[in-house]
């Protein structure tokens, strides 16, 4: 296997714009003035707290390209976080209902003071992923109504006629089990003149200090170069890079300098278990912890510690709870603070979260990592600017279902990335 000079040049060009975005990200703060004179407008239909939109916000500060004109979500606290950080309008609503008619969608669009009907639109639609997730524990063999949000997004595309559609979800979306959902979405967009590309990417390849594998889908009305990794496994950001400078806390303690660096007060029994787990990446010893954990190998990570010199595991909305996975501090006997999980998700420190403590953990865990979204925004920007018409085959693009085994899919991606490291 060889990497062509042309491919290396594309990676270099992409990394150049991405590196400029990193400088903005390090010094990011909420803007006090909404952008309203850019070439493209961005509408986010499943906005959450704004992880995906934040990448477009960062790129706009370099390229003057995107206006963030509004977000829709069901959760009021997530919308408050989105609105206050991105200084844009929000609307609390259900896209599965709003997408049923143009009138309902117009109610949403008319509530966005900066939305312009004829302005080229980038439509973000990162539907909630729990319906597709391999971690569903209950009624796993039944149809999940949340999966119908994919068809709702397709309907919204038909009504809004955007130039670009962006979707991020769990890798299982592209598995054999759920391929029919993706195929419906793909066929719907292709019938409207879109070229659609999808792939599975590790967030760690985009400077996120976390191994988080996600399906990324981008559709444009002209051909475009798809998303490319920004770094390799040898240069992954680690837990140490992200949180080692934060002050030491005992369970129940709070930082006097950072309102988000507050350690949860655990039960004495929980702290006793954590203390028995070896420091720096240790796993709960056999026989330690509740009896129910001894019965299943799938619980091996429960009460485990993060490793200082590796990326974190996937941060979920359960990351506050050591009993939910490898969510213990590398050497302090406690779970992770809001500041720690927000940094592991690559949120800038100046990004402010609103809501209850549990809500904030959920907002962070369900968000698209902003540095991944920065790379996606850059891919969209380049695609809009280059308007390459000749279709070519690209190695990262998935055209058939991936294995039903998520574990084997991840192993294949890691091997592919390792092979590329050896060749460069």
What's the CA gap between 57 and 42, in Å, rounded?
10
What is the β-pairing status of strands 213-220 and 195-202? Answer: antiparallel
What's the CA gap between 396 and 398, in Å, rounded?
6
* Sign, CA torsion 235/315/93/161: positive
Answer yes or no: are the C-beta atoms of 146 and 162 closer than 8 Å.
Answer: no
Active-site residue among 49, 126, 129, 198?
129
Surface-to-core class of residue 394, CB atoms within 10 Å of its CB (0-12 exposed, 13-18 middle, 19+ buried): middle
Answer yes or no: are the C-beta atoms of 384 and 41 closer than 8 Å.
Answer: no
What's the CA gap between 40 and 381, in Å, rounded?
10
377 CB-near residues (< 8 Å, 6+ apart): 55, 56, 58, 59, 66
Residue 418 structure tokens: 């390792």
The contacts found for 415-419 with CB under 8 angstroms, 24 or more apart, are 417/202, 417/205, 417/229, 417/232, 417/233, 418/233, 419/1
Answer yes or no: are the C-beta atoms of 53 and 398 closer than 8 Å.
Answer: no
What 3-state DSSP class applies to 355? Answer: coil
- β-bridge mates for residue 200, sequence order: 215
- To the query of whether residue 129 is one of the catalytic residues in this protein, the response is yes
What's the CA gap between 235 and 310, in Å, rounded?
10
What's the CA gap between 401 and 180, in Å, rounded?
10
The dihedral formed by the CA atoms of 145, 147, 149 and 151, expressed in degrees to the nearest 10: -110
Catalytic residue ranges: 129
């Amino acid at each position: 296997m060889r990497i062509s000079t042309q491919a290396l040049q594309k990676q270099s060009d992409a990394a150049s714009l991405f590196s400029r975005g990193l400088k903005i990200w390090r010094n990011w703060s909420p803007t006090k003035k909404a952008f309203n004179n850019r070439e493209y407008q961005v509408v986010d239909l499943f906005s959450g707290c704004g992880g995906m939109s934040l990448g477009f916000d960062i790129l706009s500060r370099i390229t003057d390209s995107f206006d963030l004109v509004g977000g829709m979500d069901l959760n009021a606290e997530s919308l408050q976080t989105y609105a206050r950080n991105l200084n844009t309008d929000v609307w609390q609503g259900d896209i599965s209902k709003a997408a049923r008619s143009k009138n309902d969608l117009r109610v949403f669009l008319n509530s966005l003071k900066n939305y312009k009907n004829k302005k080229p639109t980038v439509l973000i639609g990162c539907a909630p992923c729990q319906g597709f997730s391999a971690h569903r524990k209950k009624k796993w063999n039944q149809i999940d109504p949340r999966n119908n949000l994919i068809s709702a997004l397709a309907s919204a595309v038909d009504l809004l006629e955007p130039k670009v559609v962006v979707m991020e979800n769990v890798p299982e979306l592209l598995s054999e089990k759920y391929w029919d959902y993706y195929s419906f979405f793909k066929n719907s967009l292709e019938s409207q003149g879109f070229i659609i590309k999808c792939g599975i990417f590790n967030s760690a390849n985009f400077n996120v200090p976390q191994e988080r594998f996600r399906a990324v889908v981008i559709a444009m009305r002209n051909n475009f170069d798809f998303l490319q990794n920004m770094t390799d496994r040898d240069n992954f950001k680690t837990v140490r890079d992200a949180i080692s400078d934060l002050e030491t806390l005992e369970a129940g303690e709070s930082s006097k300098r950072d309102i988000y660096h507050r350690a949860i007060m655990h039960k004495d029994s929980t702290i006793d278990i954590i203390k028995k787990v070896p420091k720096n990446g240790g796993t709960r010893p056999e026989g330690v912890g509740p009896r129910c954990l001894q019965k299943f190998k799938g619980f091996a990570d429960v009460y485990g510690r993060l490793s200082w010199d590796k990326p974190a595991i996937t941060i979920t909305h359960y990351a506050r709870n050591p009993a939910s996975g490898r969510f213990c501090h590398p050497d302090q006997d406690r779970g992770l603070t809001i500041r720690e999980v927000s940094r592991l998700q690559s949120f800038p420190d100046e990004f402010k979260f609103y809501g209850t403590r549990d809500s904030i953990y959920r907002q962070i865990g369900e968000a698209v990592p902003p540095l991944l979204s920065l790379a996606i925004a850059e891919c969209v920007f380049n695609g809009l600017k280059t308007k390459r018409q000749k279709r070519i085959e690209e190695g990262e693009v998935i055209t058939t279902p991936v294995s039903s085994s998520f574990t084997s899919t991840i192993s294949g991606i890691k091997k592919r990335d390792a092979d590329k490291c050896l060749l460069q």
